[in-house]
Chains A and B, each alone.
Chain A
């Protein structure tokens, strides 16, 4: 799984930061994360001595005072839970990042809902793999949900997706977390989880001598983390500040729509996942008009409406129309339109809504739009007009990671506080990605990688080049060049004054020289321990122990309890799997009668398998329905009267929805509210949906065939 982790980390970091070099640096920072122990030992005793001990947990005293686990030697190699959970966590974060993409060219709401539900379902697999990962993901995704309020308030369908995702995560994750409840409440003398600042339990966090005392309130805290992680924590705060600054500068441009701003610079352009982009002018004009329109993705809709060569009904669901158009026109596009899709949760909601008075039902079901767009209009430029393209969104992930960091600092999730490092690593993944983009900026500036990264613009931003000029610069370098590449870059650089370019060059040079120093202090200890790990090789079990284990396996009942000496390596357990009376020092547990019983009565009661079967199948079908049941469109929930033509899902005044109804049962002209409004688009959507229809097998394919005629006006 470690290779899966590396592939997914790189991909996630590129999406989050738009920086390939930054992703590589972030990966190095993660693998080499460590504090000052190794450096102190290196300075005093030399490299040979440093390579002989655990420099992540020891400083020169050798007392294990430093609080940290090295990524590979302490976490990824021995901890199988981390090995399984971290790649999945990165996949979940990638899905959430995609689902919260509301820049021009992003997906339709149906696709976003589906991504969120998939992310929730995958995240909910983690409690029984590694509970720390589940908690970390919950904190980050919860933070992103709260901070994304401006988006889902502007489009309540997205809120529905978030709610459905929350339900999926709760249904799948809660039974697993419930398994730990008793242990959390009663384990370790009732104090399994403790509250209180972790740094106060360690020598380096108890006081703040010298210069550390100049930091008000938190000198000991920062000293503790300096010893544990070196400059990684301060750099993380700097990265957050820089992303916040970028967002703020974009925000200041909200009242000054640009003519050719860097709207084309979306976060995913670097990873190549986003395609079908508007041209700069189109996107900029789309934003200029779209900022005042109601929903997210408005720029794209404006563009599609303007470009449309047909008479599509303007009141049809514009997101799907945009998606259909996008899919039709995409060259090398990776997205497909969602087509009509409704989750099981939405079905249930619709059935409930059918019982309500019509005006209320219309409002709640979205037919009468209730959208709070002012906040979205206010904050949208923080993404669109930032040099990153999605600075505000990256900042939200950073804030979520910060919350994980603070939570891990205050809440000790298990008796041994160092195990909180499993939680801190969820923070590390985002923190190192953001810091990596920061450290990569001077490289990208010198290499002239402005088209694929925000690094050059970030260097210019550091020398106070106006944001407007930076966006024009970004748009110029990312626009497909009509001439040679160098001429395009030089023309793009002309937007920046000569004086500022020289200052930027000087700044980037200083920045560049600082990078190896920072990397050394952040990674040296980690890589020292990594090198030391190759020399460690110990015997675990000898021939006698293996023979003893096999004897126990063959001759003793499986439920026999073995009493042995106080050591963790015992043949009775490692080879035979028999329970130990007490395996380790420090805790004595009262035996339960059934522990010695081998009678059938000790088997689980009957209701447990029944419960498991019910849980298994309900979970399976729920997830399946939530994620993939896109057969019935929302409008098909409504059954109009015979002979009445319903356009765009709007029922005649006074008519109430009557519940679930399949298309083929309606038997007359019904235009689905969320369906494309004309045959070519419908065919395009059907062609794109072919994959999913095939995936659902024969029934789904038949459904698609039945749908097609009724789409015709």
Chain B
């Protein structure tokens, strides 16, 4: 559970970090929202990895230090973020409203199609404990599981820069872009399952931006509250049964 909370917090942090940056005024709200999610996924993975390299391990100390560093970076931007929010609230969504609505609809439609795919492929297990996947994920996810597990319980518990070991060819160095799997390992370390470590960066966080959007609709005058609420509730209605089933 803590893993998911951590991930949600980093997404919110990415949103605040980008929204409080000096380039925020050049971006639309939608871009800040979705760009913040991309930033809030990748940068925390990098920060924890670099701190992990310094301490040569992925342990609780690593996570505490990296989270403190990230917390500082985000807290530093909170005033600027709030100023940006006030500025946009004062200005309203003039000119952005149509694009916000279109992208909301697009994402709602896409999530309706993508959610079943993600939930059934990201290693769900049945009542007997058997693990499933499908399609290309059946072929690709084992190597991602291997790499992530190697950070947690395997050869790469000794975290280092440039000295990580290949889990598939013993004795070789790992020359592979492993940050996404590192991200999953961090989530597992914090208490999430491997399934949620893979699934959450895929689609779970859709609930967060729509929650933000829903809140924004009450804060920002002129925004189409009804549409935002409908999008939020429709997505929730799609997502929650799947979450319970999985």
In the complex, what residue of chain B is closest to A183 when comparing beta carbons? B175
The residue from B23, B123, B154 contacting A115, defined by CB atoms under 8 A apart:
B23
Cα–Cα distance between A178 and B165 once the two chains are bound (Å): 16
Cα–Cα distance between A436 and B60 once the two chains are bound (Å): 48
Residues from chain A with Cβ under 8 Å of B136 in the complex:
73-74, 77-78
Residues from chain B with Cβ under 8 Å of A690 in the complex:
83
Residues from chain B with Cβ under 8 Å of A83 in the complex:
180, 201-202
Q: Is B224 an interface residue (CB 8 A)?
A: no
Q: Is A579 an interface residue (CB 8 A)?
A: yes
Encoded as 1 (CB less than 8 Å from any B CB) or 0, chain A from 21 to 39 comes to: 0001001000000000000
Q: How far is the CB of A161 from chain B (nearest CB, A)?
A: 12
Cross-chain contact A272 with B28 (CB below 8 angstroms):
yes
Residues from chain B with Cβ under 8 Å of A131 in the complex:
177
Cross-chain contact B170 with A608 (CB below 8 angstroms):
no
Interface residues of A in 549-570 (CB under 8 A from B): 553, 558-559, 561, 568-570
Cross-chain contact B134 with A536 (CB below 8 angstroms):
yes
Stretch at the interface among A235-243, A290-298, A328-336, A365-373: A328-336
Count of chain A residues with a beta carbon within 8 Å of a chain B beta carbon: 118
Cα–Cα distance between A115 and B141 once the two chains are bound (Å): 36
Q: Is B240 an interface residue (CB 8 A)?
A: no
In the complex, what residue of chain A is closest to B166 when comparing beta carbons? A579
The residue from A332, A584, A589, A697 contacting B95, defined by CB atoms under 8 A apart:
A332
The residue from B53, B135, B173 contacting A78, defined by CB atoms under 8 A apart:
B135
Cross-chain contact A691 with B83 (CB below 8 angstroms):
yes
Please judge, given known A-B contacts A576-B153, A580-B167, whether A80 and B106 are in contact too, CB under 8 Å.
no
Please judge, given known A-B contacts A6-B107, A7-B33, A88-B42, whether A537 and B179 are in contact too, CB under 8 Å.
no
Residues from chain A with Cβ under 8 Å of B246 in the complex:
none
Cα–Cα distance between A692 and B198 once the two chains are bound (Å): 36
Please judge, given known A-B contacts A576-B149, A577-B146, whether A590 and B171 are in contact too, CB under 8 Å.
yes
Cross-chain contact A87 with B26 (CB below 8 angstroms):
no
Please judge, given known A-B contacts A3-B111, A10-B102, whether A91 and B35 are in contact too, CB under 8 Å.
yes
Q: Is B133 an interface residue (CB 8 A)?
A: yes
Cross-chain contact A14 with B120 (CB below 8 angstroms):
no
Interface residues of B in 118-161 (CB under 8 A from A): 118, 120-121, 123, 128-146, 148-158, 160-161
In the complex, what residue of chain A is closest to B157 when comparing beta carbons? A558
Residues from chain B with Cβ under 8 Å of A592 in the complex:
171-172
Cross-chain contact A2 with B114 (CB below 8 angstroms):
yes
Q: How far is the CB of A129 from chain B (nearest CB, A)?
A: 5
Q: Is A388 an interface residue (CB 8 A)?
A: no
Residues from chain B with Cβ under 8 Å of A568 in the complex:
139, 142-143
Cross-chain contact B175 with A187 (CB below 8 angstroms):
yes
Main secondary structure of the interface of B (DSSP, over half): helix
Cα–Cα distance between A6 and B138 once the two chains are bound (Å): 24
Cross-chain contact A8 with B31 (CB below 8 angstroms):
yes
Cross-chain contact B146 with A573 (CB below 8 angstroms):
yes
Among B129, B136, B149, B202, the one with the most A-chain Cβ atoms within 10 Å of its Cβ is B136
The residue from A73, A332, A587 contacting B92, defined by CB atoms under 8 A apart:
A332
Q: Is B219 an interface residue (CB 8 A)?
A: no
Cα–Cα distance between A575 and B56 once the two chains are bound (Å): 22
Cα–Cα distance between A697 and B130 once the two chains are bound (Å): 52
Stretch at the interface among A43-51, A377-385, A538-546: A538-546
Interface residues of A in 373-428 (CB under 8 A from B): none
Cross-chain contact A577 with B152 (CB below 8 angstroms):
yes
Cross-chain contact B146 with A332 (CB below 8 angstroms):
no
The residue from A80, A84, A573, A612 contacting B161, defined by CB atoms under 8 A apart:
A612
Residues from chain A with Cβ under 8 Å of B21 in the complex:
118, 627-628
Residues from chain B with Cβ under 8 Å of A7 in the complex:
30-31, 33-34, 103, 106-107
Cross-chain contact B95 with A272 (CB below 8 angstroms):
yes
Interface residues of B in 14-60 (CB under 8 A from A): 20-23, 25-28, 30-31, 33-35, 37-39, 41-43, 46, 49-51, 53-56
Residues from chain A with Cβ under 8 Å of B132 in the complex:
537-540
Cross-chain contact B171 with A78 (CB below 8 angstroms):
no
Cross-chain contact A694 with B80 (CB below 8 angstroms):
yes
Count of chain B residues with a beta carbon within 8 Å of a chain A beta carbon: 116
Residues from chain A with Cβ under 8 Å of B139 in the complex:
78, 568
Q: How far is the CB of A283 from chain B (nearest CB, A)?
A: 18
Residues from chain A with Cβ under 8 Å of B228 in the complex:
none
Cross-chain contact A591 with B171 (CB below 8 angstroms):
yes
Residues from chain A with Cβ under 8 Å of B155 in the complex:
558-559, 577-579
Cross-chain contact A539 with B154 (CB below 8 angstroms):
no
Cross-chain contact A609 with B54 (CB below 8 angstroms):
yes
Cross-chain contact A8 with B175 (CB below 8 angstroms):
no
Q: Which A residues have a C-beta under 8 Å from some C-beta of B?
A: 1-4, 6-8, 10-11, 14, 20, 24, 27, 72-74, 77-81, 83-84, 87-88, 91, 94-95, 98, 107, 111, 114-115, 118, 122, 125, 127-131, 175, 178-180, 182-183, 187, 269-273, 275, 332-336, 338, 530, 533-534, 536-543, 546, 553, 558-559, 561, 568-570, 573-584, 587, 589-592, 594-595, 602-604, 608-609, 611-613, 615-616, 627-628, 630, 690-692, 694-697
Beyond A539-B132, A582-B168, A695-B79, 19 extra complex contacts between A and B, CB < 8 Å: A1-B202, A2-B114, A8-B35, A10-B106, A20-B99, A27-B106, A78-B140, A84-B42, A95-B23, A131-B177, A179-B175, A336-B87, A570-B142, A573-B168, A574-B142, A577-B149, A578-B150, A603-B56, A603-B158
A sample of 28 inter-chain contacts (CB < 8 A) reads: A3-B205, A4-B37, A6-B107, A11-B34, A11-B99, A80-B198, A83-B202, A87-B37, A95-B27, A111-B22, A115-B26, A118-B21, A127-B177, A128-B46, A182-B173, A272-B94, A536-B134, A538-B134, A558-B157, A577-B149, A580-B168, A583-B169, A587-B169, A604-B160, A608-B53, A615-B50, A691-B87, A695-B83
Q: Which B residues have a C-beta under 8 Å from some C-beta of A?
A: 20-23, 25-28, 30-31, 33-35, 37-39, 41-43, 46, 49-51, 53-56, 76-77, 79-84, 87, 91-92, 94-99, 102-103, 106-107, 110-111, 113-114, 116-118, 120-121, 123, 128-146, 148-158, 160-163, 165-173, 175, 177-181, 183-184, 198, 201-203, 205-206, 209
Give 7 closest A-B pairs by Cβ, nearest first: A577-B154, A272-B95, A577-B149, A695-B80, A694-B79, A691-B83, A183-B175
